[in-house]
Structure 1
């Protein structure tokens, strides 16, 4: 469906004289291919080759006008050589690093997952439950670009919903980091809060199970074993489970340890609970139960103090969270102030007292970039005991995957590459000593984070893209993608592009000037198509039974492009019948080199609407307008050659095969329909000069007359009364009243 949509736009724009780069490629590394290969006991390289061959056949059979000379395959060494090169540049610029990190772990796929690859606590690929695990992983510092990833959205034409999704995922917030002293200790517990104005209402503190202060204060915690048991149980929960608003709150108090509120100076108990994440903020919060739903539920369950500090609710019943406005209470330093004023006042005070600092925070985490799998780009890094991590020499790129008999992931969490000594053992590129090659591979998002650049210059062996090519073609004018990629591919590729801009590879800050999205075509039962549900529609079957043009036109007509819609076999048949009626226009064809007077208004209206609707993603209304015009020709009983030519050109982007055949039958051997010039509408012929109006006598329609749109009443009735039918019906009668409602009613009352 998305390919068909942009194929329509590409075909139309070519006919409008534009140079259009409309390419196709295959992002073929990663879990889907490898999982299929393992299940069916076939090498992933062979699976990839077979799939690319089959997809290419299908895409060509549908009639997409891709530039196949520019096709890219992310598993081609000549392609992933540059993926590896980009990684090395990131390492050299401090954006790639390896560290022990708590990650999302899929025990089924046996790999770590980025947050973006976890959907409702399950693995995006296999659907299995995700666990938390600490592993030594390669990370990319996408957080270094967090501000720019938000701010630069102002410079691009994306759906507002897409911009909002990106902003929400990155999650920029403005607040403070504030230090809370630990009683009878020189230790401090630092929290991040966006609401320092509510600090008087902070009655207890909560730390994440992974917070290091537990070990620091181990000797003072009277129930340390109980705390340790809680930490162990939290490890078994996914971040999704822990963050659910409606989940039952659990936690344990750190007995023997208290914090001190730096403003009220009151003692505060410290609790450990899994609803606080170590990956956000500082991994510790000041809990303000009167004005936070989760804190309120926690305080209610464990009978902790609740103190209202923003007036407006009844905190004896529930948390009052509508606190962006209102006045402060129970807060001596800021009592009576409006929230906005109180926030600034408290931030100034906390900073002046050295108790905290202003801080911008993000929900976005650094990108977990290594996979313990075989089928991916080898990470071009070498570890030396003396020199640490070193990138391979760029002259050695690409680093190829060795052929292996067993490419299944190991139960020990290591890549199968780790078992190949000839691959692992190497020399340090810096000191020449013995070293080990990295055996992790890149995630499936690596190759797709820059493929659009390779389309511009697919055969360049000296650079990932040449300056002349990127200056000419870039940036991408229009990128359409599924909503599921808004926080995955779109985010990742924008990050990579900004890095390439920073090092001078590309001339623009953003990769795509326009980003749209499409709804999915669901199964007939309204569920997402899936082999397991048995509701997948194979395009080969539709093309065999109804033709490629039926499939293309149906996909565009079925619904608003942005909305998901169930597949309908009945509607497919309807589109096939429509195309048959188009073919049968040849039966009423007459000579003519100009639009006929009775059709030129509707034809010009159709040219305007179809031209605009194709560009505005309103493909269904464009097709509907063409159907309206077809009906008008059928009703008229004839269509001349000029009119049919225009009709075929307008329909050609959606149904290229039938329209090209009909075009040739009209005698056009010199050029194809898609090589002609897209028709222009005449602005002066969008509205008719005359209108057909019914003539009533005593409220009953007797005839119709064609009258100028701007006719005066006296002139109108002079015209009407000269009509033979009207004359006959008024014989022997006296006209009592003449009624005229412009463009609607002509009525003569007579007796």
Structure 2
């Protein structure tokens, strides 16, 4: 009988869906397991073969957990707001909602084609008003508690998308999505005060089972540092405050630099002798992204503020003040003390502008290069700090500054508050109105969801406002507080809004009274295992942890962390070793692979392709190897075997070892070696005919990886129920161990033969077996064994004289 994968896969997909085999039960008395994948953005191109890698991995884990007897929640949904859909809608003059519906249908078809065990009754879509009602509700709660606020600030402006980008969305100075130039603009934006949670976001990582590189990226992005704030007097009568992690080097501060946007420049403008030069530099800096401005390799530029000087608080010397684009208004205080003797960037700037360079930590030649390796050492040229170690000097200078009222110890974070506005149409409307009398006022919860109105033109206005700003009828409303005239907020939320809490909605997706019932949240949350891309470590993962902690603080969720375990995966590259992209022409369409080889072959191959956590190139030839393996499984099992369901004596040990290896490998994301183990087991079965029980275990182990073929063969063999609902095979540790081992016998470190002894035999037994071997007996005859070295289950080395 031929292995008709197309017929078999369609048959079982329809049956699973009809019988709701993978539906999670809210009323189950079983222990729960909540497995989560990052829900996809439904683009028009659909899936390529790289996308299913994380879905297949978590599907394998979810299927195994069900077979272990757990009540499994394995949901899917669509993160469907965002720029790509809106840009497509603008170009093709189709409403984004229509585009989204079509794309979701395409993705759903592809995901079902691959046989994933998602609970399809729990699908969510962030553009559904019944979903984004609760996204808006969370925003209102943030607003009520002062964690959502409006502020005018310099922002990243994409010149193509015509919208504000978060720092995380600017990659190498260009827009992450479209690749266009990003410039700086001053704009009034809604902000979320994620910085209030910075320390908790660091501290709580210690309790989580996240892979180490995820923890490191989160900590580095938050960027906690301990230092001191120092006040520099100026000849203008104002003070310039800096934050430094190296207050010990204060005697080496020979100039100051402030950001071109620093608010004090406007105040000082009447005093500046070169105001035109300063203004021109400010305008040039505004056209650069943060990345361009802080790029270490770039030529250092700046303008001295002639007419105002600062005073070094420890030396009393007047020092020049510059503006330079390498200092950002949004980091620290927007001003720095420059210590060119011990900072490469400051040293290059000082050399260019002919500024003094003073060594204050012994050990370098500051005329040739900045002595940057100054974390340890002895202070020099530093007055009352001379002779102290760096660490002792930090403590003493901070105490001195505090006593003099010139500074104080301080903790700072690199993390900035989250820019939460987008001047676009296809996003959640922000449920706020502005009243001339009352200011910004929240909509009553009873008016949620605030629906997106229909618009004819989806393009951002020439002034950079949302298309909603042109809808005068929609804009005009009444103030919920005073009843007077008010206007609606025209900015919409970023795509990250809906994805910051979606995992909670899966617990109770049809609830119209709350984002999810407390009963459902108490049972299902936190997520037990979350797999996602490393590219989202400083975006979605950080944002969702922040939102979850806030919801915990207001009593909505039962835990302060959303995910107990976080793993990540490597990309599947094109056959050319490059990232798959339409422009490179190296995209592999999964539909083509499924049509030719079947979904099970695709699933098997993308798990067999290499280390799950590392990138791996696609190989069309290697796919065929996985198909051949499934053909062998089919040929082995297509005829019903008779007899009991026990293991054959010939295969008992290899079956137990396979169960142990596959079980452990799935938990450790070692899918490639698990599959290799299954291939080896099938080879054994071809050498010696398997029993009915041997085949039953094989099919159970194969089921999470290639579920369709496993179900069909399970049915052919007449086993009870479905393979996916069978009990996961257990193993006996004692039966995984070989009864006898072949050990190498060395004499004087040179291999002379082998012996066969019982596994884990004692040293004395091994020695006697070696001495009894005919070949070894002749070689040591007449010689004295002065020492023996036994490596358990591997070798014995006889030292003779």
Distance 2:182 2:153 in 1: 15
Per-residue CA deviation, residues 429-482 of structure 1 (Å, 9 max, x unaligned), is 111111111111100010010000000011111110111001001111111110
Structure-1 residue corresponding to 2:5: none
How many residue pairs align between the two structures?
A: 733
Structure-2 residue corresponding to 1:328: 379
Structure-1 residue corresponding to 2:50: none
Matches within 5 A, 1:129-140: 129-140=181-192
1:364/1:701 CA distance change after superposition, 3 Å: closer
Structure-1 residue corresponding to 2:299: 248
Other structure's SS at 1:446 match: helix
Other structure's SS at 1:316 match: coil
| Shift in Å, 1:745 | 8.8
**Which of 641, 645, 648 is the equivalent residue of 1:596?**
648
Residue 631 (1) aligns with residue 683 (2): yes
| Shift in Å, 1:33 | 1.4
| Shift in Å, 1:421 | 1.7
| Shift in Å, 1:175 | 1.1
Residue 169 (1) aligns with residue 234 (2): no
Structure-2 residue corresponding to 1:109: 161
Other structure's SS at 1:533 match: coil
Distance 1:501 1:319 in 2: 48
Structure-1 residue corresponding to 2:7: none
| Shift in Å, 1:228 | 0.8
Structure-1 residue corresponding to 2:395: 344
Q: Indicate conservation of the 8 Å contact 1:121/1:238, yes or no.
A: yes
Residue 271 (1) aligns with residue 325 (2): no
Other structure's SS at 2:305 match: strand
Structure-2 residue corresponding to 1:100: 152
Structure-2 residue corresponding to 1:469: 520
Structure-2 residue corresponding to 1:528: 579
Distance 2:482 2:406 in 1: 48
| Shift in Å, 1:538 | 1.1
Q: Indicate conservation of the 8 Å contact 2:638/2:713, yes or no.
A: no
Structure-2 residue corresponding to 1:77: 129
Distance 2:332 2:751 in 1: 78
| Shift in Å, 1:647 | 1.0
Structure-2 residue corresponding to 1:518: 569
Per-residue CA deviation, residues 73-100 of structure 1 (Å, 9 max, x unaligned), is 1011000000001111111110111121
| Shift in Å, 1:734 | 14
Structure-1 residue corresponding to 2:138: 86
1:426/1:599 CA distance change after superposition, 3 Å: same
Residue 236 (1) aligns with residue 287 (2): yes
Structure-2 residue corresponding to 1:685: 735
Distance 1:671 1:412 in 2: 64
Distance 2:533 2:300 in 1: 36
Structure-2 residue corresponding to 1:620: 672
1:264/1:592 CA distance change after superposition, 3 Å: same
Structure-1 residue corresponding to 2:705: 654
Distance 1:734 1:452 in 2: 70
Per-residue CA deviation, residues 658-701 of structure 1 (Å, 9 max, x unaligned), is 11111111112x300111111111011121112468999xx999
1:692/1:146 CA distance change after superposition, 3 Å: closer
**Which of 212, 221, 224 is the equivalent residue of 1:160?**
212
| Shift in Å, 1:337 | 0.6
417-426 or 469-478, which deviates more: 417-426
Other structure's SS at 2:261 match: coil
Unaligned residue ranges in structure 2 (runs of 5+): 1-52
Structure-2 residue corresponding to 1:25: 77
Residue 538 (1) aligns with residue 589 (2): yes
CA-atom RMSD in angstroms? 2.6
Distance 1:401 1:216 in 2: 43
**Which of 472, 494, 513 is the equivalent residue of 1:421?**
472
**Which of 224, 241, 245 is the equivalent residue of 1:194?**
245
Q: Indicate conservation of the 8 Å contact 2:645/2:696, yes or no.
A: no
Structure-1 residue corresponding to 2:345: 294
Distance 1:218 1:719 in 2: 99
Structure-1 residue corresponding to 2:18: none
Other structure's SS at 2:184 match: strand
Matches within 5 A, 1:668-679: 668=719, 670-679=720-729
Q: Indicate conservation of the 8 Å contact 1:689/1:709, yes or no.
A: no
Structure-1 residue corresponding to 2:26: none
Matches within 5 A, 1:359-438: 359-438=410-489
Per-residue CA deviation, residues 604-654 of structure 1 (Å, 9 max, x unaligned), is 1211111111011111111111112222222x2311111111111111101
Distance 2:634 2:403 in 1: 81
Distance 1:156 1:744 in 2: 39
Per-residue CA deviation, residues 199-219 of structure 1 (Å, 9 max, x unaligned), is 000000011101122111112
Per-residue CA deviation, residues 279-309 of structure 1 (Å, 9 max, x unaligned), is 1111110000011111011011111110000
| Shift in Å, 1:703 | 12
Other structure's SS at 1:333 match: helix
| Shift in Å, 1:189 | 1.0
Distance 2:387 2:773 in 1: 78
Q: TM-score, normalised by structure 2?
A: 0.88
1:161/1:718 CA distance change after superposition, 3 Å: closer
Per-residue CA deviation, residues 111-131 of structure 1 (Å, 9 max, x unaligned), is 001111111111111111100
| Shift in Å, 1:708 | 7.1
Distance 2:255 2:766 in 1: 83
Residue 38 (1) aligns with residue 99 (2): no
Other structure's SS at 1:290 match: coil
Other structure's SS at 1:209 match: coil
1:427/1:572 CA distance change after superposition, 3 Å: same
Distance 1:83 1:466 in 2: 15
Distance 1:32 1:209 in 2: 34
Distance 2:725 2:779 in 1: 64
Matches within 5 A, 1:53-72: 53-72=105-124
Per-residue CA deviation, residues 311-351 of structure 1 (Å, 9 max, x unaligned), is 12222221111222111111011111111111001100000
Q: Indicate conservation of the 8 Å contact 1:695/1:705, yes or no.
A: no
Other structure's SS at 2:71 match: coil
Distance 1:212 1:709 in 2: 76
**Which of 104, 119, 127 is the equivalent residue of 1:52?**
104
Structure-2 residue corresponding to 1:2: 54
Distance 2:793 2:417 in 1: 65
Q: Indicate conservation of the 8 Å contact 1:221/1:255, yes or no.
A: yes
Q: Indicate conservation of the 8 Å contact 2:743/2:796, yes or no.
A: yes
Unaligned residue ranges in structure 1 (runs of 5+): none
Q: Indicate conservation of the 8 Å contact 1:380/1:391, yes or no.
A: yes
1:186/1:645 CA distance change after superposition, 3 Å: same
Distance 1:395 1:172 in 2: 41
Other structure's SS at 1:218 match: helix
**Which of 460, 465, 471 is the equivalent residue of 2:511?**
460
Distance 1:702 1:333 in 2: 75
